[in-house]
Structure 1
Amino acid sequence: MRRSRHAKIVATIGPATVELDQLRALDLAGADTFRLNFSHGTKDDHARAFTAIRALEREFGRPIGVLQDLQGPKLRIGSLEEGELTLQAGETVRFVLDGARGGKQAIPLPHPEIFVAAYPGQNLLIDDGRVRLSLEKPGDGDMIARVIVGGTIRDQKGVNVPGALLDIYPLTKKDRDDLVFGLELGVDWVALSFVQKPSDLIEARALIGEAAGLVAKIETPMALDHIDDIIKLSDALMVARGDLGVEIPPENVPGRQKELIRACRMAAKPVIVATQMLDSMVAAPTPTRAEASDVATAIYDGADAVMLSAETANGAYPAEAVAMMDRIIRSTEQHRLYRSLIRAAQVDEEITPPHAVAAAGADLAATIEAKAIIGFTASGTTAARISRKRPPIPVLALTPDDIVARRMCLLWGVHSVVASDPSGHEEITRIAAVAAQREGYVRSGDLAVVVFGLPFGQIGATNNVRVAVC
């Protein structure tokens, strides 16, 4: 079940893919980690999908990651008198904090934090920016706004307030309940929506502890302003381009994506590029050429993983979408310019012995044309440090911990296997060689580079490199 590519695929589960046979098809097509989107579906739906994923894991005999994506605070307008309103460019409308069902002079907006943060000239975007307004007269309980770009709005459509630091926490009561449920299931990653500042991650970390990795979803300008600290406090990043592309000018999203991928690579933390990557495959069996180029761009940039959302959750061609993404990744990574672009984006080494040892192992393997780099890791950190180098040689990560093995399903180029730690020096080469041969990376007599830390099992103690003849 080893993949013939480095970048990973995250597939979202939904009504189209909740059953075991459907999930098996996604896995065989190339999905490495499955996303449970708690903005949709019931807990029973997610539990059934999780049980099926773990059954697949036992069937295939390899780790499969599960990412729980929390809904977060959703800003929405309330109910409208006729269920919808058509706003014309140039006209003025009124938003009210309190109101059951309203018209143009009493559009319900039940979010006091928006009224507090609003200022004259503030943009207000409805329905993913399809309708745009400018606030002319903010107030405590009502606001007057002028329509800049008109259109029809409907009940409960989403609202974005670009550039405003809203006094809201990313963990709602629903999120807290869902988080407890997800951790009881045993999810491997938890994605936190609507992160604005580093402190937003602290509460989530306190609730999660070490039970799962923490993914910060980057979808606001404020998060970009504090990105270095957010990366330090998280275990991975998701470039959530849907809301981010509404909150900042669309033309700025590609550059920001490149910056975020580079920053995560420098920190040796995985980064997922998400949203509308093969969106036309929700209804069509093939993507547009622009979508194929979009996926390829993320791969050329060095992203650890790319994600499918509606394509696999409720699309008509879920397995085909995964297979297409797999094909695009493999074709991109085999292109003659790929290695030169990856090398050009090489980040400076972190000046610590563990990072230097892992980097030396990756360089040594390339120099001697080893067939594999084998890393013993207790927490996944050694594998992440090797992956950071983006070596052209496969990385086989051996860990005694099932949870760590599943989390490494997000790491670029890493194939994770559950294996016992060596009891001494004499077992290092034997365990590494047996695992590498079993997984199909080496044959008898091939060279492999083994990276490990002494004493075994101590987190962060990457301090040894060994050349092994398998």
Structure 2
Amino acid sequence: MKAITKTKLICTIGPASNDPTVIRKMIENGMNVVRLNFSHGTHESHRATIKLVRSISQEMGVHVGFLQDLCGPKIRLGILPEEGVRLIAGDYIALASTNKKYENALPVEYDNLHKEVNIGERILLADGMLELCVTSIEEEKVICKVITGGVVYTKKGVNMPQTDLHVPAFSEKDRIDLQMALEEKLDFVALSFVRSAKDLEEIKSIIDKSEHKPLLIAKIEKPQAVDNLEEILDVVNGVMVARGDLGVEMPLEEIPHVQKHIIKQARKAGRITITATQMLASMVKSQRPTRGETTDVANAVIDGTDALMLSDETANGDYPDTAVETLARIASAAEGYSRYTPDFDYSLFRDNHAFTLAIGRAACWLAKDVGAKCIVCYSATGLAPYCISRFRPECELLVLTFDEKVCNMTSLIWGAQGVISELMTDLESVIETAKIKSIEAGLAEHGDTIIVTAGMPFGKTGTTSLLHLIQL
């Protein structure tokens, strides 16, 4: 099935979409990757979803990737009365760990709260809807003045954007959930609330020692992560601009600039970029997005994001398949208007793969000069197609590989479409297979020009060195 957009679409599966008919429609409408949110559900329910999606995608002849989103160290309020607790601006309220039973104190699921916050720091509740300011610390109670009031309920989020928290980014629950991802051979794993490269050491070590090695995505949703972006990019395969918590932890007016900065720096480092949260939030209840959401999606595409992600829109919304179709239409239109600004300047990139990058740039430049319909890349690891994708080729990009893992990787590589082929060890086989597969995929026709890239010796990692021009 020919790709609908070059920008990849990630969709969260939840109660609204965990249905064979809906999943099929979402794939037809352009879903490339399924997101499994491990803040919700059980291992049993996630395994059932994986099995269902794999069955449907195989039946459709489409490669759909899987992204595990680990919940990370989200701090939440404890148990409150069912009707919630009303906080009034100007009043004072105490916060304390759920382990301490202080009368009239809001319980917080974090034992070291009183040790780590400082007087004058902000505490935000319920995704930033309520704001408190720490005025004093009395024994193990944190006394706060209510700046912005409202009603808070059980398990609502607690954010402390100015506090240097010592909570580990990789929790015991995350460790158990990651093991399930490795067993199920999921393609991508995203870690939440990353602050620095150090937060990624343990999860990266586990993945490096595993036989199955999913690509690691760092979710950028804290100010510290923005400050430490370069060192984070050095140790991951990609980043997610997670605008939900990022918009709580930072002033809202800074988010557009921060998003552009993250995407630009990630592309320079050769890392996958995902833009997420409230892309089409109004479509949870409406069949049409707002004009602002439409512009937001288009701008992310123009900024150069590799992928766009839907959360509540497909997990809990009333119109999950329509949301995917709408996202695809907006992304496709934005790609058309920005078609294309090839980044042929090496100075834009910092990378250790100069040789493969040179082939990628040459392939894109040659395709533009001769009007090629398709670049066909024979790859053992997925490095070569990403090096081609980074230069944003105007033509189609078909990836031939004998490795199912690499084929699924292409579900997050901008513009790439993966196809399983046999292990080939000679140029003639690669060329003949490229001709056949490009036509079968509907990416080229007889009389069209295609470009083939491969490495010699064939099938060996990191040897991409060949460009071949072919007229079908």
Note whether the superposition's TM-score is higher than 0.5. Answer: yes
| Residue number in structure 2 paired with 1:202 | 201
Given the alignment, which residue of 372, 380, 383 partners 2:382?
Answer: 380
TM value normalised by structure 1 = 0.95
Deviation at 1:138, TM superposition (A): 3.3
Are the aligned partners of 2:278 and 2:311 in contact in 1 as well (CA < 8 Å)? yes
Contact 2:341 2:392 in 1 (8 A): no
In structure 2, what residue type is equivalent to 1:133? L
Q: Matches of residues 68-467 of structure 1 in structure 2 within 5 Å?
A: 68-80=68-80, 84-99=84-99, 104=104, 106-138=105-137, 141-209=140-208, 210-335=212-337, 338-339=338-339, 348-350=348-350, 352-467=354-469
Residue 396 of structure 1 and its aligned partner are, at CA, apart by: 0.7
Deviates more, 1:134-143 or 1:246-255: 134-143
Q: Confirm or deny: 8 A CA contact 1:20 1:49 kept in the other structure.
A: no
Deviations 1:263-309 (A, max 9, x none): 12112221110001101111111111111111111111111110110
Q: Cα distance, 1:57 vs. partner?
A: 2.4
Report the counterpart of residue 49 of structure 1 in structure 2. 49
Unaligned runs of at least 5 residues, structure 1: none
Q: Which residue of 2 aligns with 1:15?
A: 15
Structure 1 vs Structure 2: percent identity of aligned residues?
A: 37
The whole-number CA distance in structure 2 between the counterparts of 1:226 and 1:307 is: 23
- Alignment partner, residue 4 of structure 1: 4
Greater shift in the superposed pair: 295-304 or 450-459:
450-459
Name the SS of the counterpart of 2:226 in structure 1.
helix
Q: CA separation in 1, counterparts of 2:350 and 2:43?
A: 42
Verify the 8 A CA contact 2:98 2:107 in the aligned structure 1. yes
Change (3 A) 1:339 1:82: closer
AA of the residue aligned to 2:190: A
Q: Tell me which amino acid in the other structure corresponds to 1:199.
A: K
- Does the Cα contact within 8 Å between 2:65 and 2:187 map onto a contact in 1? yes
User: Cα gap change, 1:350/1:143 in structure 2, threshold over 3 Å: closer, same or farther?
Assistant: closer
Q: What is the CA–CA distance in structure 2 between the aligned matches of 1:311 and 1:98, rounded to whole Å? A: 33
Matched to 1:383, the amino acid is P
Counterpart amino acid of 1:116?
A: K
| 2-structure distance, mates of 1:350, 1:222 | 22
Contact 1:81 1:103 in 2 (8 A): no
Deviation at 1:422, TM superposition (A): 2.4
Report the secondary structure of 1:297's partner residue.
helix
What is the identity, as a one-letter code, of the residue corresponding to 1:193?
S
- RMSD (Å), alpha carbons: 1.9
| Misfit runs of 4+, over 6 Å | 344-347
Question: Is the partner of 2:339 in helix, strand or coil?
Answer: helix
- The one-letter amino acid of 1:31's match is M
Q: How many residues align?
A: 467
In 1, are the aligned partners of 2:98 and 2:111 still within 8 Å (CA)? Answer: no
- Verify the 8 A CA contact 2:270 2:350 in the aligned structure 1: no
Q: Which runs of 5+ in 2 are unaligned?
A: none
Deviates more, 1:151-160 or 1:138-147: 138-147
- CA offsets 1:88-114 (integer angstroms, 9 cap, x no match): 11111111225566654x222231343
